[in-house]
Amino acid sequence: MGLVDGTMTLIIIAPLPSGSVIDYNEKLIRQLKKDKMADSVMDEDLHRVYWHSRRGMLELDLVLMPFAKKCYPNLSDEDKQKYQRLLACEDQDMFSWLLRREIPEDEELVEIVQKVIKYAEQSDG
């Protein structure tokens, strides 16, 4: 093991029946780079969603930002899309929905609003 460009590198030196040691190490390095690029895209997505969770109303910030930070990374892809659609809505609408004064007309938004409310209630106290 050694440090290369500030990252830990593991090079396996063992003959493999299916190919040379160099071929295996090259495949391993390509996979690690691909994984690192995927992590970078996921970090960028999370950062963008967290930034968009900052709203013009403090009340929304206090509900949406913790949800984005703690729950968004663990949502299914479908729920992530629903949350992003929620973020495209007007602040006044979201405020009414999150306070249960109104219900979104879109059933998919109802589902994600319920998840946000549930998280806010659980983490509140």
Query: Is it the case that residue 43 has pLDDT exceeding 80?
Result: no
Query: Is it the case that residue 23 has pLDDT exceeding 80?
Result: no
Tokens 């460009």 locate to 5
Identify the pLDDT of residue 2: 47
Give the chain's mean pLDDT: 79
7 is written with which tokens?
Answer: 């990252």
The DSSP symbol for 18 reads: T
Please give the backbone phi and psi of residue 76, each rounded to the nearest 5 degrees, phi first: -70, 160
Read off the pLDDT band of 123 (50, 70, 90). Answer: confident
The overall pTM is greater than 0.85: no
**AA identity, residue 117:** I
Read off the pLDDT band of 66 (50, 70, 90). Answer: very high
CA distance 2 to 13: 14
CB 53 within 8 A of CB 67: yes
Query: Is it the case that residue 3 has pLDDT exceeding 50?
Result: no
| Residue range 73-91: mean pLDDT, rounded | 95
Query: Is domain 19-123 annotated with CATH 1.10.10.10?
Result: no
